[in-house]
Structure 1
Amino acid sequence: MSSHIALPENGIDPHHKIIGEGAFTYRVNNRWGILDRDQYPVENCHDFAIDSNKRIYMVTDHPDNQIIVYDCEGQLIDAFGKMFPGAHAIEIVQEGDDEFIYLVDSGWISNRKWDGISTDAWDSPTNKVIAQSGFIAKLTLDGVLIFTLSHPQTIGIYTPDMPYRPTDIAIHNNGDIYVCDGYGSDYVIRYDKQGRYLSHFGGHDNVDSDHNLANAHGIAIDRRNPDSPQLIISSRAEQCLKLFSLEGKYQGKIDTPGAWVHGPVFAKDYFVTSVCWSDIDGKNVDNSGFISIFDNNNNLVVNLGAGKPEYRNNQLQPMATTWDIFNHPHGICIDDDGNMYVGQWRAGQSYPIKLEKIG
């Protein structure tokens, strides 16, 4: 399968395509970050982080390399890591004079018994990927392991039969670590900066269903109001983002009807979230992803690669059913100039796309 963005449209090179509107207008650069596929192959480009030297770290779940490091122009700086087969999310955090990587392995692993055909038969022993337990790793920027956080059954908060396949992580200013178990049991687990368990919330069986999470795929800390930071967590199967206090108390939600959203990525007073699939008549549609941008009031103002958002009586209407840029956007990071770097799931093993901000 080829990525949408690799295909010409009306004879126009998509490298020059302009998308968005107003302050959120971008030029699509699908030539950014292309490498020698024999040396630096990718499977799915999952997530990104930027360090203080403006180096961009991308995680991929290809078995030959799971972390690729670029400069902002898309030139290769480094590539390493064969010990994270389910690499899915990454955060880079300043701690004192040093920076560290927090990497999330979601537990999916390439199947050495793949039948060469099955890609969606998740319970099949011959599917292309199969599930195992995931974990969290803290690393130096060079990839040296500091510590790991393993299955929550080891600290007594999961029973042995409960799956653990974490999908994302957020780090608070005090060092507290929040881990989303979005492909497992849908809890958010909170640790201190040394990896000691503090609390957990979410899951599926709360008396108040607002506290439940369903495919808690992404998480971020909203610091736009420094006096009351809060967690914003995607509950993808419910097609919404849920808001919680740092202690795990439910505070509201942002509906995203028709969109399976990832967690937010913040830039100044707005945030961006990738939409891996559009939901049409209760089904996830292939190659139907796009990127949504929300303003300081958490209102959706722009969809990149899909139709314009519409509100009626302050309620966001189901998303448009036309898509022209992306397959399945997944990870995003935003540099100081507002440019976006976008990785995709199931996009023909394509390298990242850079959206160059011109608005």
Structure 2
Amino acid sequence: MKNSKRKFLKTTAMAGVALTVPFYGFNIINRPRLEEELIGHGDFKYRVEKAWGDLDPAKTPVKNCHEMVMDATGRLIMVTDHQKNNIIIYDKSGKLLNSWTLGFKSAHGLSIHNEGGEEFLYITDPGTGSVVKTTLTGKTILKIDSPHTIGEYGQFNPFRPTETTIGPNGDIYVADGYGAQFILQYNSKGEFIRKFGGDSFLQPSKFKQAHGVTLDKRDENNPTLICSARIKNTFKRFSLEGEFLEDIYLPGAFISRAVIDGDNLYSGVCFGMTKENFNMQLNLGFVTILDKNNKVVSNPGGTKPVYKKNGQLEMMRQDKPIFKHCHDVCVDDDKNLYVCQWNANGIYPYKLHRV
């Protein structure tokens, strides 16, 4: 059914862009305002709807659209760092359903977890070192103690948490991506268990900007953690106990968190590289998509992924200036994507319609 629906959407998208039919001054048909050009590669191609999430900035402002998740009812929940509305909730048409705030000035990470039939949000704010668990309506249920207060960090170790994920047994993993570069593990009550990782360019089990942490359940018998080492252009896989297992190197891609959907892994690429300069560059974001074997199959907004005969992936770069800094990707049940951007002049999320 979903494949048929996608074929239908592809056909209607090909027929025309932003088609409206006037009737006594009203539009009786208002199809999505899709860009004409397809982006992406292989089976993962999309048409961009830039105005999908546009709201009235006087009433529902954003500074940076950091991350987005989808709840069990199909609502799209986004975290922003605007104190007026840290959380904005959309339906899939882009209609505003609700918003609320915790008063965070730098709200950053957003995860959702179903616990006994009820869903909860986990929100991080690196500016205040906050990690909180809330209901979907904004009631705080749990606050995670800073590692400083429990003697796990020295006075010179900053704690600026960027992301959380929840393990199969309810353990809470916190990525200290803007701080001391550890992944910290707590139980479901917020009691500290261990930390692993740390700060190093050279050691494979350590990070440079441990921006995200995600539970990977694609191997049902062996769930693991996928952690972002953004400055190393690498996803690092760890066991649930913090044992380093492997690197997934994505040359040229300064990735955000991993988003798992089915067999695929999606990530926003926040920064990129130019052909002339191999350093991190602003305004060169795109999206990258990996298959179940962790091979890149599509780069919407980026260059086509190419593997050499020895299996090494060639450098990936922005191909089209559609995005500035892709901070997160959300996948809906029709396999459309919603892209949140950082440092992009206060724009709202784009929707990528899969065709």
TM-score between the two structures when normalised by the length of structure 1: 0.86
2:98 aligned with 1:102: no
Structure 1 residues without counterparts, runs of 5 or longer: 1-10, 108-132
Counterpart of 1:213? Answer: 207
Runs of 4 or more, structure 1, over 4 Å off, are 11-14
Counterpart of 1:320? Answer: 317
Aligned counterparts of 1:195 and 1:94: Cα–Cα separation in 2: 17
Contact 1:16–1:29 (CA under 8 A) maintained in structure 2: no
- The SS at the match of 2:169 is coil
Contact 1:86–1:134 (CA under 8 A) maintained in structure 2: no
1:173 to 168, 171, 188: 168
Contact 2:273–2:317 (CA under 8 A) maintained in structure 1: no
Counterpart of 1:293? Answer: 289
Letter of the 1:338 counterpart: K
Counterpart of 2:306? Answer: 310
In 2 relative to 1, CA 205–258 (structure 1 residues): closer, same or farther, beyond 3 Å? closer
Contact 2:253–2:317 (CA under 8 A) maintained in structure 1: no
Letter of the 2:261 counterpart: A
Aligned counterparts of 1:174 and 1:85: Cα–Cα separation in 2: 31
Superposed CA offset, 1:254-290 (max 9, x none): 1111110112111111111110001343422221000
Aligned counterparts of 1:99 and 1:308: Cα–Cα separation in 2: 37
Aligned counterparts of 1:276 and 1:75: Cα–Cα separation in 2: 26
Contact 2:40–2:302 (CA under 8 A) maintained in structure 1: no
Aligned counterparts of 1:339 and 1:321: Cα–Cα separation in 2: 20
Aligned counterparts of 1:247 and 1:323: Cα–Cα separation in 2: 40
Counterpart of 1:5? Answer: none
Aligned counterparts of 2:130 and 2:59: Cα–Cα separation in 1: 27
Aligned counterparts of 1:287 and 1:97: Cα–Cα separation in 2: 41
Counterpart of 1:83? Answer: 103
Post-superposition offset of 1:21: 2.9
2:215 aligned with 1:226: no
Aligned counterparts of 2:130 and 2:119: Cα–Cα separation in 1: 20
Contact 2:200–2:207 (CA under 8 A) maintained in structure 1: no
Letter of the 1:332 counterpart: V
- The SS at the match of 1:195 is coil
2:159 aligned with 1:164: yes
1:350 to 324, 334, 347: 347
2:193 aligned with 1:198: yes
Aligned counterparts of 1:28 and 1:154: Cα–Cα separation in 2: 46
Counterpart of 1:240? Answer: 234
Superposed CA offset, 1:205-229 (max 9, x none): 69x8111111000111110111111
- The SS at the match of 1:237 is helix
Contact 1:289–1:323 (CA under 8 A) maintained in structure 2: no
Contact 2:84–2:103 (CA under 8 A) maintained in structure 1: no
Identity rate of aligned residues, in percent?
A: 41
Counterpart of 2:249? Answer: 255
Contact 1:15–1:31 (CA under 8 A) maintained in structure 2: no
Post-superposition offset of 1:203: 0.3
Post-superposition offset of 1:332: 1.3
How many residue pairs get matched?
Answer: 322
- The SS at the match of 1:284 is coil
Contact 1:50–1:335 (CA under 8 A) maintained in structure 2: yes
Aligned counterparts of 1:282 and 1:318: Cα–Cα separation in 2: 10
Counterpart of 2:90? Answer: 70
1:145 to 120, 126, 140: 140
Counterpart of 2:6? Answer: none
Counterpart of 2:52? Answer: 32
Superposed CA offset, 1:17-69 (max 9, x none): 32123321111111212111100011110001111111111011112211101
Counterpart of 1:93? Answer: 113
Contact 2:268–2:287 (CA under 8 A) maintained in structure 1: yes
Aligned counterparts of 2:102 and 2:221: Cα–Cα separation in 1: 41
Post-superposition offset of 1:14: 5.9
Letter of the 2:320 counterpart: W
CA RMSD across the alignment:
1.8
Aligned counterparts of 2:318 and 2:259: Cα–Cα separation in 1: 24
Contact 1:18–1:27 (CA under 8 A) maintained in structure 2: yes
Contact 1:332–1:343 (CA under 8 A) maintained in structure 2: yes
